[in-house]
Amino acid sequence: MSSTINRRRFDRYQLSPMYTPVGIRVEGVDDVVFEGHAYDVCEGGLQFELDVGIKPGTAVHVQLTFPATVAGDAGATGTGRSVFATGNVVWLDESEPGPVRMAVAITKFAEETDRARLVRVVSSGRLAKAA
pLDDT digits (tens, 9 = 90+) for 70-100: 776 544 555 568 999 999 999 999 898 899 9
For residue 82, the model assigns a pLDDT of 92
Query: What is the pLDDT at residue 30?
Result: 80
C-beta of residue 92 within 8 angstroms of C-beta of residue 53: yes
Number of separate helices (H) and strands (E) present in the chain:
2, 7
List of residues 6+ apart from 74 with CB closer than 8 A: 66, 81, 117, 120, 121, 124
Rounded-to-integer distance, Cα 18 and Cα 97, Å: 18
Q: What is the pLDDT of residue 44?
A: 95
**CA of residue 66 relative to chain centroid, distance:** 10
The residues of the chain scoring below 70 in pLDDT are 1-8, 72-80
User: Residue 67: its pLDDT value, please?
Assistant: 87
Q: What is the pLDDT of residue 78?
A: 53
